[in-house]
Structure 1
Amino acid sequence: FGKTAGDATNYRKAEWGRPPAPGAEESIAQAESAMAQNDYPLAISLYREAISKDSSIPSAWNNMGNAYYRMGRPREAIEAYEKAAELEPKNADIPFNIGLAYYRIGEVQSARRAFARALEIDPNHSLARSNLISLGGLTGETK
Structure 2
Amino acid sequence: MDYEDFQARLENLGEMLEGTYTLIGKLCMRLPLPINLPPIPLDGDRGLLDGEGLAVAEVVERARVALLDLPMDDVTTAVFNTLLIEWLTTRELYALADFGPPHEYLPPSMLLALERMGRMVDYLEDRLDNPET
TM-score, normalised to structure 2, is 0.38
Q: Which has the higher contact order (CA 8 A, sep 6+)?
A: 2
TM-score, normalised to structure 1, is 0.36
